Chain A
Amino acid sequence: MNAIKAGVRNETVKLLSRKKYQVLLILTCLLSIGIGLLGGFAKGLIGLSSTSTPLTVLSLVTAFIVPLMIAMSSADLFTAEQENGSIKAVLTRPVSRINILTSKVLAIILYTLLVLSVCLVTSLVYAIAFNGLGVSNIAEALIAYAVSIVPMLPITLFAVTVSQLCKNSSSAVMLSVFGYIIIWASSIVFPSISSMLFTSYVGWYKLFIGAGMPFANIVNILALLVAYTLIFFAISSWVFEKKEY
């Protein structure tokens, strides 16, 4: 457990020490404000509502920005480190490979949580300050952001698996992004398989807000997302365990 704790700390420090991940945080913050401004000016014309700024930001961020960020961080923590040899810094320490993999995955999830938190705080502050967001809307936004980490888990493990199979970081990012787009597009082209694909549920927070909560539906989707997460984790840990450096 201590090895995982130390690993998560190290991997998080590594991610946050890099300029691109700091810039990404600032950009998501600016994006949240930008959407809030757009909502104010457009007055619902393009489907944006100033009172639903936090949820609009969440939809955009979970559909595009977070998956891209996950692809980048997976490529950096796995493929790039393998490419430049720095992964040996931890592989030659008395830590098991499964613990190393788990630490890296948890660090990516932590960074995802940080991005979502930045979006939540920025969009909430903006909406409360300029649009007079009510208490019920705030509670809704909090719930929506909290549950949105769940569909990000299979996406994270998918990107980690792709990163294990690639030899350079650029191709790892490209393959993860294209893979995500192809799976996402498949659900549009073949609506019948949509319910079986993990990319179809990035907006599952909608099930948790509003009048009724479809409990059975939520449990089914949760089981599917957990299954995808475990399958990708099993594949990536098997590859990571077998890999030679």
Chain B
Amino acid sequence: MVLKINNLSKTYRNGRGIKAISFQVQEGDIYGLLGPNGSGKTTTMKIITGLSRADEGDVQIFDSSVENDGEKSLEQVGCLIEAPAIYEYLSAKKNLENAAAYYSDIKAPRIEDILSQTGLLEYQNDKVKEFSLGMKQRLGLALALLSNPKLVILDEPVNGLDIEGMVAIREIILKQAKSKGITFLISSHLAHELELICNKIAIMKDGHLLKTATMEEVIEQSGTLESYFLETVRSGKEKAV
């Protein structure tokens, strides 16, 4: 088991949050969290990566508890939560070098390799503040993939991107999953985007996880993920998983 989320709950002061979220991600999965804005996707991902704390419940990454052993649980994880966490006054290469400093086995060739894979090699010495949104997103992805993680968590990775940008990000994810067997957990409010890359899906709404299914089941039942999402949400009868 790569990731095990057990009964996760968190309530913010405004009453929003997540309620009793449970799901599991197996090795090799590209697992999608689909839901509208405010459904609790980012909150769930923040708790998984230790940026936020749950009121109740537990997260285990490769059998290490995020709450009790945060450092160890993040050793095999790369992530991009909300906007890419980058220093705009540094170059792309410097941003990657800074991140690489926390891993003893990441050296210069790996930095060059990931810059090349994300199409940023020729811009490596440019300051990030001069980058377009798509380039920043690709750098965010490069930072998430840099340490050769076994699990990559991406929160709305194509948010705000144009068609070319979305395709570029999708291709990088699929290539990494296929060539390196990386497990992905990806959140989005774009059903079509998740349908193109995920093999499993969880539907979230108003802080609840309504349903989980394989993409095959989704297509078999509803034809498209979008229809499946609408059916799930509209039915209103499904109990939280």
Enumerate chain A interface residues (CB-CB to B < 8 A).
2-3, 6-7, 9-10, 13-14, 17-18, 84-96, 244-245
Q: How large is the interface on B (under 10, 10 to 19, 20 to 34, 35 or more residues)?
A: 20 to 34
Nearest CB in chain A to that of B79: its residue:
A92
Dominant secondary structure at the A interface: helix
Asked whether A94 and B74 contact (CB < 8 A) given A14-B90, A245-B52, the answer is: yes
Is A92's CB under 8 angstroms from B52's CB?
no
Dominant secondary structure at the B interface: loop
- Other than the given A92-B81, A244-B51, 15 more pairs (CB < 8 A) read A9-B101, A10-B98, A13-B90, A13-B94, A13-B98, A14-B87, A14-B98, A85-B83, A89-B85, A91-B50, A92-B79, A93-B102, A95-B102, A244-B46, A244-B52
Enumerate chain B interface residues (CB-CB to A < 8 A).
46, 49-53, 70-72, 74-75, 77, 79, 81-83, 85-90, 94-95, 98-99, 101-102, 104, 143
Q: Which A residues lie within 8 Å of B89 (CB)?
A: 14, 17-18
Q: Which A residues lie within 8 Å of B74 (CB)?
A: 92-94
B35 to chain A, nearest CB (A): 21
B97 to chain A, nearest CB (A): 8
Nearest CB in chain A to that of B73: its residue:
A94
Which 7 A/B pairs are nearest by Cβ-Cβ distance? A6-B101, A88-B85, A89-B85, A244-B52, A245-B51, A10-B98, A94-B74
Is A96's CB under 8 angstroms from B83's CB?
no
Q: Which A residues lie within 8 Å of B87 (CB)?
A: 14, 86, 89
Q: Which B residues lie within 8 Å of A17 (CB)?
A: 89-90, 94
Q: Which B residues lie within 8 Å of A2 (CB)?
A: 104
Asked whether A89 and B98 contact (CB < 8 A) given A14-B90, A96-B70, the answer is: yes
Is B75's CB under 8 angstroms from A94's CB?
yes
A237 to chain B, nearest CB (A): 15
Is A245's CB under 8 angstroms from B46's CB?
yes
B48 to chain A, nearest CB (A): 10
Is B50's CB under 8 angstroms from A92's CB?
yes
8 chain-A/chain-B pairs, Cβ below 8 angstroms: A13-B90, A13-B94, A14-B98, A85-B82, A88-B51, A90-B102, A92-B74, A94-B102
Asked whether A88 and B81 contact (CB < 8 A) given A6-B101, A14-B90, A17-B90, the answer is: yes
Is A92's CB under 8 angstroms from B51's CB?
yes
Q: Which B residues lie within 8 Å of A92 (CB)?
A: 49-51, 74, 77, 79, 81, 85
B94 to chain A, nearest CB (A): 7
Is B101's CB under 8 angstroms from A85's CB?
no
Give the docked Cα–Cα distance between A86 and B85 (Å): 4
